[in-house]
């Protein structure tokens, strides 16, 4: 006797199985803002996605699925509407904080839905999006996404982002919390369905041990000479060429060092100093550095002198990549021997690491910041990564020192 599998019935509106349909919780929320959601193709069939949910709640919204948009007529028409100028909700150089500095008048809000890697590729590979003014924000409350953990505390789902942003653009923050009703219904139903499933035997995945390789001297026998650094810049928006690659700033103002933090991990000694920009403050600097503008004061020469007194002639400067060290020297500072911690970590793990916060988050609970703003958090992450790299390299042998 053959057994025929009967497919689960699905709701034709939300496209979810009827057992976890969230349509009863949907409210219609008209907006003066036109919302255009660009959903990455791989995200369309994700059972816990929120882009379609948002489009069902917002009658003045459009949901487009794909990866390349150069010849997409509906998107071109939406972006060309002079009555609702288009803006892009995506972080990056030059992005304004939409919660504190929103655009005036009705706009066309373009939102990219997908994982962070998918969203990055959509923005990078579609020149039609490059000219749009960028806006971003740090979510003022933790994500309600209890099904899966966001990479960082300030990240949130697409529908949560729209809740925060539309509340500001429409001037009705409380009204748009109704977007969370179907979201909560979906999360609750999904968790209940997971709890009702019979428990399965957990298969333990065995990971191959990475090949033990020799560390640079600064992370091993010269660890006492290692000084970790992170720098922040007053950075102006960059233009992009036809291939989407960043080129010179639009107004020819180079990035300037405004915040410098350092740690000698062998002793725990820290250094922190600020410097005022030589010209105007970029509108995105306070947002990206997570510092109030009034903190960015002081002479850059005094910063260089103070750091010169902190380091020793034999010290090796460790940083994540080359941006911080290049920023320091291009702003007029002098650094000695250097080591790229990102390159060392990538060689030992033999995988793509992503950003410093993303990689550090894989290592366990975040460490307490070692200074103010984003630089202080990144310095703590860098120290955590150095500890991990030293343990990894010493596997099977005594710890390096």
- The full set of domain ranges for the chain reads 18-192, 217-393
Q: How many CB atoms lie within 10 A of CB 10?
A: 14
The C-alpha atoms of residue 111 and residue 117 are separated, in whole angstroms, by 15
Length of the chain equals: 401
Tokens 């487009």, residue located? 64
What is the reported pLDDT for 116?
Answer: 84
What is the reported pLDDT for 139?
Answer: 80
Count Cα atoms within 13 angstroms, Cβ side, for 318: 33
The C-alpha atoms of residue 360 and residue 153 are separated, in whole angstroms, by 13
* Distances in whole angstroms, Cα of residue 384 to Cα of each of 6, 159, 317: 51, 33, 16
Q: Model-level pTM? A: 0.52
* Distances in whole angstroms, Cα of residue 252 to Cα of each of 98, 239, 328: 25, 10, 18
* Six-digit token string for 390: 């030293």
The C-alpha atoms of residue 81 and residue 79 are separated, in whole angstroms, by 6
* pLDDT of the chain, 401 residues: tens digit per residue: 444 445 568 888 888 888 888 899 999 999 999 999 999 988 877 777 789 999 999 999 999 998 888 888 999 999 999 999 999 999 887 889 999 999 988 999 999 998 888 888 899 989 999 989 999 988 877 766 555 544 444 467 898 999 999 999 999 888 999 998 988 888 787 777 666 666 555 555 555 544 445 788 888 888 999 999 999 999 887 655 555 555 555 445 678 999 999 999 999 999 999 999 998 998 889 999 999 999 999 999 999 999 999 999 899 999 999 999 999 998 899 998 999 999 999 888 887 888 898 899 888 888 899 999 999 999 999 999 999 998 887 764 333 33
What is the reported pLDDT for 398?
Answer: 33
β partners of residue 232: 259
The C-alpha atoms of residue 81 and residue 33 are separated, in whole angstroms, by 12
CATH topology assigned to domain 217-393: Nucleotidyltransferase; domain 5 (3.30.420)
């Amino acid at each position: 006797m053959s057994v025929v599998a009967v497919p689960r019935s699905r709701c034709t509106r939300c496209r979810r199985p009827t057992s976890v349909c969230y349509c009863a919780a949907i409210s219609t929320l008209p907006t003066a803002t036109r919302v255009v959601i660009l959903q990455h193709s791989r995200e369309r069939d994700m059972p816990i996605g929120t882009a379609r949910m948002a489009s069902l709640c917002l009658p003045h919204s459009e949901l487009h699925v794909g990866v390349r948009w150069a010849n997409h007529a509906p998107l071109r028409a939406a972006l060309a509407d002079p009555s609702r100028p288009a803006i892009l909700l995506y972080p990056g150089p030059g992005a304004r904080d939409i919660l504190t500095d929103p655009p005036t008048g009705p706009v066309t809000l373009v939102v990219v839905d997908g994982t962070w890697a998918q969203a990055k590729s959509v923005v990078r590979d579609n020149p039609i999006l490059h000219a749009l003014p960028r806006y971003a924000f740090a979510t003022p409350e933790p994500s309600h996404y209890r099904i899966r953990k966001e990479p960082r505390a300030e990240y949130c789902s697409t529908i949560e982002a729209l809740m925060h942003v539309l509340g500001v653009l429409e001037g009705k923050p409380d009204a748009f919390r109704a977007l969370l009703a179907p979201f909560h219904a979906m999360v609750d139903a999904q968790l209940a369905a997971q709890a009702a499933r019979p428990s399965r035997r957990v298969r333990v995945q065995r990971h191959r041990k990475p090949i033990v390789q020799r560390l640079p001297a600064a992370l091993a026998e010269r660890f006492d000479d290692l000084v970790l650094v992170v720098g922040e810049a007053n950075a102006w928006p960059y233009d992009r060429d036809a291939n989407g690659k960043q080129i010179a700033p639009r107004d020819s103002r180079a990035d300037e060092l405004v915040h410098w933090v350092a740690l000698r991990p062998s002793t725990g000694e820290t250094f922190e100093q600020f410097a005022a920009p030589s010209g105007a403050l970029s509108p995105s600097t306070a947002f990206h550095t997570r510092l109030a503008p009034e903190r960015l004061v002081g002479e850059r020469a005094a910063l260089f002198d103070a750091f010169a007194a902190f380091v020793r002639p034999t010290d090796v400067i460790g940083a994540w990549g080359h941006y911080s060290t290049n920023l320091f020297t291009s702003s007029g500072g002098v650094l000695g021997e250097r080591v790229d911690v990102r390159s060392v970590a990538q060689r030992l793990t033999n995988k793509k690491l992503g950003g410093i916060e993303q990689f550090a988050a894989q290592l366990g609970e975040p460490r307490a910041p070692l200074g103010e703003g984003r630089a202080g958090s990144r310095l703590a992450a860098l120290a955590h990564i150095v500890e991990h790299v030293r343990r990894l390299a010493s596997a099977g042998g005594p710890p390096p020192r």
